A = this chain, B = another copy of it.
Amino acid sequence: MSKDTVGIALLGMGVVGGGVADIIQRKRSHLRDMVGCPVELKGILVRDVNKPRATQTPHGIVTTVADDILSNPEVDVVVEVMGGQDPAFDYILKSISLGKHIVTANKEVMARHGPDILTLSRKKGVQTLFEAAVAGGTPIIAPLLRDLVANEVLTIHGIINGTTNYILTSMSQNGADFGDTLAEAQRLGYAESDPTNDVEGIDAAYKLAILATLGFRARVRDTDVFHEGITRLRTRDFQYARELGYAIKLLGIATSDNGSVQARVHPAFIREDSMIAKVDGALNAVEIQTDLAGKLMFHGAGAGSMPTTSAVIADIVDIARNLAGNVAPPPIGKLSERTHVQPISELRTRYYIRLMATDRPGVLAQVGGVLGNRNISIASAIQKETDEVAQRAEIVLMTHRANESDVQQAIRELEALETVAEVGNMVRVEEW
């Protein structure tokens, strides 16, 4: 049956939900032209009906009872913009079982349960779209699924967390320290009051799991993604990076090699003249290398009410066009379940190591000896900022390519040396 109205329900009315409600109403006539029939709000699930909201909505559609929405036959598409695992995941499953199409911006749910949700959707003949779950308003999911369909994706490199990119940009440009910059980001609304998910790389790991799953057509879970945050970076690390010709970014990196996938989120030294090094502030960028199309980059806003709304509405229109035209959703490709995930210990790359040592002859040789025993050879060394009173010197090393497990072991051995006060930081170098 072809529809004469496409009914939308929103689960959640926060920053994104408010934006979606606003645009569905404000661009009513444009959306009708694009879809072929009106797109109308039929229900909005909130926690508190009486909370004052910036966006006016049609009378009587706001409710605190999920079943009011899920059982409403006028609702064709359920738009989940609550965020978090619970109760969003349950609502999504229930909606699909009831034959509703789903648009979600929920990276956590899609990273953990995406393949199961897509399988259930296929079984129930509905579409589940989630463009807004990664990189907000920057198209990346649809390009991966549609435009790169002929390609084998080889590598994914992304700046996919705006909060940490804002903090790192600010630390790099203003020489401010992590704590002050985080406080400033919180004041400006770029970071949440509990910033753990962002600064520890957990949010980026969710998004990378989604990109890797789609890109490699293989199930990559959030728990398969190694993640390390940005809290150990010091202003000095940015100074050394600059001296050596690098920028420091929190990258999500996924590579696939003969069915073996590696996926990791961590701060990385990247060549300062590379394009992705220029991605500053809260912006996002994803660079994808493929066998046919070569290297592609998608760059834009990674969050925010209107950019995220842009992505959510694109998904709504995609589904609504199918409904209005009485067409079935496109088939979804199958995912390989036999993915081998390589642990971080098997990584082989270059490393930046900063340590504080006693300033006396032979220390550098001793450090070099520990590394040499683990087959780690030094590409360059800087010794600076000697504290003459304490007789300590900071040593910065760039290694040639080495094994992560050897480097981890060598750092433990360096820390055990009497002449080494501490290994201040280790940052992986990413060149591609």
Contact = CB atoms under 8 A, between A and B. Distances in A.
Interface string A313-331: 1100110011011111011
14 contacts: A35-B331, A36-B331, A137-B292, A138-B293, A139-B148, A142-B146, A143-B147, A147-B310, A150-B309, A150-B317, A275-B279, A291-B306, A298-B298, A325-B330
Interface stretch (A26-34, A93-101, A189-197): A26-34
Contact of A334 (B33, B295, B328): B33
A294 interface: yes
Contacts of A34: 149, 333
State the number of copies, please. 2
A311 interface: yes
A297 interface: yes
B299 A294 contact: no
A148 B310 contact: yes
Contact of A309 (B131, B143, B292, B307): B292
A35 to B, nearest CB: 8
A26 to B, nearest CB: 10
A423 interface: no
B278 A293 contact: no
B324 A331 contact: yes
Most chain B Cβ neighbours within 10 Å, of A30, A151, A291: A151
A325 to B, nearest CB: 6
B33 A333 contact: yes
B331 A321 contact: yes
A131 to B, nearest CB: 7
A301 B306 contact: no
Contacts of A304: 294
A427 interface: no
Interface in A236-271: none
Contact of A148 (B148, B275, B293, B314): B314
A128 to B, nearest CB: 16
Contacts of A301: 293-296
Contacts of A369: none
A293 B307 contact: yes
Given A139-B296, A150-B310, A296-B299, 7 more contacts: A147-B310, A292-B313, A293-B306, A293-B310, A297-B298, A321-B330, A325-B328
